Chains A and B, each alone.
Chain A
Amino acid sequence: MKQKFNMDDRHLRENPHSVPEGYFSSLQDAISDKISAEKQKPSFWRVARPQLALAASFAVIFIIAYATINLFSPGEKQDIFSSIESDQLDGLYVKTSFVDFYDSSTDTLYTEDEEEIDPEEIVEYLSSNTGIIYIASLD
């Protein structure tokens, strides 16, 4: 019967590798040199940070100025509001507040008969109210 291989043999756990002579002291120097070089080399963040801070401060100033102008100029704000929406809003008001409740069949105020006024009636009206027209023309 084949004997079990002895993995617990201390000889197996010994380090069979070696390194070039003086390697570990040169390794420490190499690491030290690389770290010194890294300390001198500015990182991306270190270079970009002042520039980002400057850009951010400009952005803050712009936002504050824009907000101030908007807050203290109500007229302009109204103009903007009216120019964008006024026509549409007018239409919407008519549609929702009046047209929905307006029954044209019962409305006798603006009939077609009244639009056709007899010219003789106009002449008669004007001749009987010349005094009012005269006073109005004096203004």
Chain B
Amino acid sequence: MTDKELLELYREEGKQSYAFNLIVKSYSERLYWHVRKMVASHDDANDIIQNTFIKAWDALPEFREESRLFTWLYRIATNESLTFLKRKKSRAFLSLTDYSKQLENKLESDPYFNGDATQKALHKAILKLPDKQRAVFNMRYFDEMKYEEISEVTGTSVGALKASYHHAFQKIQHAMEELF
């Protein structure tokens, strides 16, 4: 079912819940992986993804299709992840270890990480990136989104996104070259 069909179904009388469940079914998995790469832990990703869909449910009556449903949901999930990380960082301000180190530790002890040593090193290096740059890098590198789509999600110009991705790519490559 396309986004347009889902939204038409949502706007039919008495079909809101059914249509929204279909939207959740269509996008929850993809959005979950996006959030999971941002926050490293399954439990945190689970909380964030639930909040994302509850916010989407509240805001969907005002959704005017100025962007695609998919990018709109991605934007909510990204913002929720960034807000979560900001809150965690402010709480970790007095902690002995900075929050990116805590994220690395979460990845290290994550029972649901099945990658090899190279993949673990890559994901640890990605967790050291600034949050917004990490979101851009993940959307481009793993989700293979077009810059125009990332621009819709982040509200940043394509030129700025290309520069951000290039810097992030260089940093990761440099970090990986030091290890391997």
Q: Given that A14-B119, A16-B119 are contacting pairs, would A31 and B113 also be in contact in the complex, using a CB cutoff of 8 Å?
A: no
Q: Given that A13-B141, A13-B142 are contacting pairs, would A20 and B112 also be in contact in the complex, using a CB cutoff of 8 Å?
A: yes
Q: How far is the CB of A23 from chain B (nearest CB, A)?
A: 8
Is A73 engaged at the interface, CB distance under 8 Å to the other chain? no
Dominant SS among interface residues on chain B = helix
Instruction: Annotate B110-149 by CB proximity to A: 1 below 8 A, 0 otherwise.
Output: 1011111011101100000000000000000110100000
Q: How far is the CB of B171 from chain A (nearest CB, A)?
A: 11
Cα-based distance from A12 to B142 in the complex (angstroms): 9
A31 touches B24 (CB 8 A): yes
Cα-based distance from A35 to B57 in the complex (angstroms): 8
Cα-based distance from A16 to B108 in the complex (angstroms): 13
B20 touches A24 (CB 8 A): no
A2 touches B177 (CB 8 A): yes
Dominant SS among interface residues on chain A = helix
A16 touches B123 (CB 8 A): yes
B180 touches A5 (CB 8 A): yes
Is B173 engaged at the interface, CB distance under 8 Å to the other chain? yes
B118 touches A7 (CB 8 A): no
Cα-based distance from A14 to B120 in the complex (angstroms): 12
The residue of chain B having its C-beta at the shortest distance from the C-beta of A15 within the complex is: B33
Residues of A at the B interface (CB closer than 8 Å) are 2, 4-5, 7, 11-20, 23-24, 27-28, 30-32, 34-36, 38
Query: Can you list 23 contacts pairing A with B, beta carbon distance less than 8 Å?
Result: A4-B177, A5-B173, A11-B119, A12-B119, A13-B141, A15-B33, A15-B142, A17-B42, A17-B115, A18-B112, A18-B113, A19-B42, A24-B32, A27-B49, A28-B24, A28-B25, A31-B53, A32-B17, A34-B54, A35-B53, A35-B54, A36-B17, A38-B57
